[in-house]
Each structure stands twice: as C-alpha cells, then as structure tokens.
Amino acid sequence: MFKRIPGTRDILPQEMSMWHALEQAARRIFSLYNYAEIRPPIIEEAKLFDRSLGEFAEIVQKQMFVIKHGEDTYALRPEGTASIVRAYIENNLDKAAGFFKVYYMGPMFRLERPQKGRQRQFHHIGCEAIGSSAPGIDVEVIALADALLKEMHISGYRIVLNSLGCLEDKLALTEILKKDLAAQRGDLCQECQSRFDKNILRILDCKNDACKEIVKGINIGDRYLCADCKVHFTSVKEGLDALGVVYTVSPHLVRGLDYYTRTVFEIKHDSLGAQDAIGAGGRYDNLVEELGGEKTASVGFAFGVERLLLVASEIPVVAPEKLIYIVSMGDAARYFSIILAHNLRRDGFRVDMDYEGKSLKGAMRKANDESAEVVLIVGDNELAKQSVMLKDMRVSQQREVPVANLGDELKKTFATS
C-alpha cells in the first residue's frame, strides 16, 4: 500500500466545490483590479531561490525540495514571486508591458515539519505588480487582498503592516538590533542565537516566549527609516485610511524572505493558533535587478489556500448544472441511451447514465446517490416509440416524452424547480 508523503493531501472531489468557489472569487476580484493570470513552471533552478529569498532564509537553508540532475540543481518552487520575476525578465516583459500586473494560483513546496495549517505541498493564490514604486500600488495591493477576503466571506482577520525601509535602512535596523540585543544574546533561543549574525531581523518575529519578552524591551519605532521611506510609508497608511482598509502597524513584522524592502504586511487570523498567517506580502524593489533585470520596484502578496479554507465558513458555492441520469432496460435500449447521452451533453445538459445493466431499482438508487434531478428511463417500449419516460425526482412524477421534444421538456422541467 502506498501512502501520501507526510505534509501532502489528496484534495478529494467532495472538497472541490470550496476550492472552485475560492478560485472563482479570486479570479473575479483580480479581474476587477486588472490583473492577468500567469502560470510559471513549478520547477526552477535552485539558485533562483537562493538569490531571491536569501541564502540564510529558513526556506532556502532547510525547506527546499532539491533535485540534482547531473550538473544541474533544480528545486520545486517554495513560493511564486521569484519565478514571476524570472519570467518577467526572461520574456522581456519589461520592454513589452512596462508596468505589469499578474496573478497566479498553484502548488508550492516546503520541506517543513507538518502540522495544522503547515504542509509540505500547499497552494498559493497571489499577485505581483512589477514596475512602480508609487505608494498607491502598495495601497492597491493591500486593498485587493482585503477585497478578496471579503469576496470569500472571510472575516475575523487582521492586517498587520510595517515598513522595513530601503536596503540602507534595513542595514541601519540590523545595526540597531545588534546593539540593543547584544547584552541579551545568550538569553535568546538557540535558533535566534544563530540568527544573530546571519538574519538578525527574524529575531523580531520569533515565536519563542523568552525571545518575545526580550524583543518587547527594545524600542524600535521608525528611527531606522530614511526620509524618503518615511514619506512612502506615511502615504501607504494614508491611502489605506482613505479606502477604509483597517490595519495595525507593528515594528516587529519583518518577514522571512530577504527580498523585501519598504512595505511589508501579513494577514493574520487568530483562530489558527501558531500558524496564524493566512497571507502575506510586501515590496521587493531590488529583486528584478538582483536577478539580472533593470532596477524595477515591485509589490505583491500571496494567500495560503489551505489556511483560507480553514477560516472560510460560508463561501457561496456555485451549484453545478442539474444532473440528468439515464437508466436503460436491455442492450438495445442501452445502446440508444449512449447516443442520447451524447446528444444531450452536446446540447449543454449535464448527463450521466448506467452502463452496467443494473436492475431498475439499483439504477434508480445510483441516480438518487448522484442527486440527479431528472431520470430518463428507456426500455424496449420507449425505444419502439422513440420516446423516454421522464421522471422528475423532486416530485416523483413521470411522463412519457418523445425524444424529439426532450430538450424543451427538460428545460421546462428545470425551469419549474
């Protein structure tokens, strides 16, 4: 017996309507904000992620699914932003499109210790706006994330906002933290002690209680932000206020990926416990240049679909077309039914049938299990008259209908439901 790899899931047919509802809500909102879909490959050169996320980022150090093939090292993508920036540069989209707004949906892979809301294969719904440093775009992207959650009928979330500043400001913040934390370095958790030299910003959002206490004691404020980055951050906050998007500012929000500069945000849902981020994003004004393109300011976000599903209680699911089930008695009637099903499907009806020659009772039970609204019964009698017995399952009434009128009769039946 083969089993799923830990941290992966089979998304079963009965769960699919929720997935479709989320995806449809996302597509609708992305379209309203004029984002077009992009589908980069799931497998990339591993170096792309080392470069983008930072070689000391936890994802790169511990969580990448790496595949060695001869001289080459590939990785299953742990996130989408790096691939999209690669695609932007490789396809010369900077020349073709200038400002480029795209969205994406699909699986991501991180070799994490699985737990509730944390999987090794999970899915992102995200977007990237590449080509502008205007604070209005940060506002658009955060407002879009908020609109998406509202469209999905998700409530009870908090948007947490911060600015990391430009590269120089990030260095200044690093220096401030090195100075302020030096005396307590030995009291930090093991992980944070090793972060001290390589990735000190991450100490700010460590979940360990001792680290949280130590960090609470330092007054970070916005003293590391340069004048331009302060103006940018103020404009983003003013823009969100003007749109009525509710957020809180936290100087402790730093994010785990190296590419972020200026605005960063996380959307948290307290019902989720330790893994409380349902989505996150921010600016990455140097990444295009870092990966070989022109300097191009950009911003984006990604939601974790599995976490959205954990907090979504009442997504309006789009009902499928009503189902017609054909039951036939005898080989000749079954042959006739196969053609009938084919023709009805061609005319836009949703049709299934019994191919196995079940008894009338067995076939009716199957129709019931499939929630068919109409059953068409075909026997020798009907076959001779080129008609079918149309049974309306909701009222348990049946009538004989000539095949020539069947389309109209079905439409009439469904119209009265």
128 binds ligand HAM (CB under 6 A): yes
Q: What is the CA radius of gyration of the chain?
A: 28
279 binds ligand HAM (CB under 6 A): yes
296 binds ligand HAM (CB under 6 A): no
290 binds ligand HAM (CB under 6 A): no
Q: Which of 38, 49, 60, 81 binds ligand HAM (CB under 6 A)?
A: 81
300 binds ligand HAM (CB under 6 A): yes
- What number of CA atoms fall less than 13 Å from residue 394's CA on the CB side? 9
83 binds ligand HAM (CB under 6 A): no
Q: Is the dihedral of CA 116, 122, 105, 21 positive or negative?
A: negative
Least Cβ distance, residue 302 to ligand HAM (angstroms): 4
3-class secondary-structure state, position 232: helix
Least Cβ distance, residue 258 to ligand HAM (angstroms): 12
Q: Which residue has the tokens 């026997």?
A: 379
Distance between alpha carbon 92 and the CA centroid of its chain, in Å? 26
Residues binding ligand HAM: what is the number (CB under 6 A)?
A: 24
Of the pair 122, 224, the CB lying nearest ligand HAM is at: 122
Least Cβ distance, residue 114 to ligand HAM (angstroms): 8
Query: Where does residue 234 fall: left (phi above 0), alpha (psi -120 to 50 degrees), or beta otherwise?
Result: alpha
Q: Which residue has the tokens 């084919």?
A: 342
Which span (76-84, 184-192, 364-372, 387-395) binds ligand HAM, by CB under 6 A? 76-84
312 binds ligand HAM (CB under 6 A): no
**Cα angle vertex 326, ends 320, 330, to 5°?**
160
301 binds ligand HAM (CB under 6 A): yes
Distances (CA, A) of 405 to 212, 329, 412: 73, 21, 11
What residues between 187 and 206 interact with ligand HAM by CB under 6 A?
none
277 binds ligand HAM (CB under 6 A): yes
Of the pair 257, 377, the CB lying nearest ligand HAM is at: 257
Closest of 159, 156, 153 to residue 24, by C-alpha: 153
Of the pair 262, 334, the CB lying nearest ligand HAM is at: 262
278 binds ligand HAM (CB under 6 A): yes
Beta bridge partners of 327: 377
Query: Rounded CA gap, 360 and 341, in Å?
Result: 18
Q: Is the dihedral of CA 5, 11, 123, 244 positive or negative?
A: negative
Least Cβ distance, residue 278 to ligand HAM (angstroms): 5
Query: Rounded CA gap, 62 and 417, in Å?
Result: 56
122 binds ligand HAM (CB under 6 A): yes
282 binds ligand HAM (CB under 6 A): yes
Q: Which of 306, 354, 373, 382 binds ligand HAM (CB under 6 A)?
A: 306
* φ, ψ (nearest 5 deg) of residue 349: -90, 150
Least Cβ distance, residue 173 to ligand HAM (angstroms): 19
Neighbours of 23 (CB within 10 A): 14
Residue nearest to ligand HAM (CB): 304
Residues 280 and 302: beta-carbon distance below 8 Å: yes
Q: Which residues bind ligand HAM (CB under 6 A)?
A: 79-81, 110, 112, 117-119, 122, 124, 126, 128, 277-282, 300-302, 304, 306-307
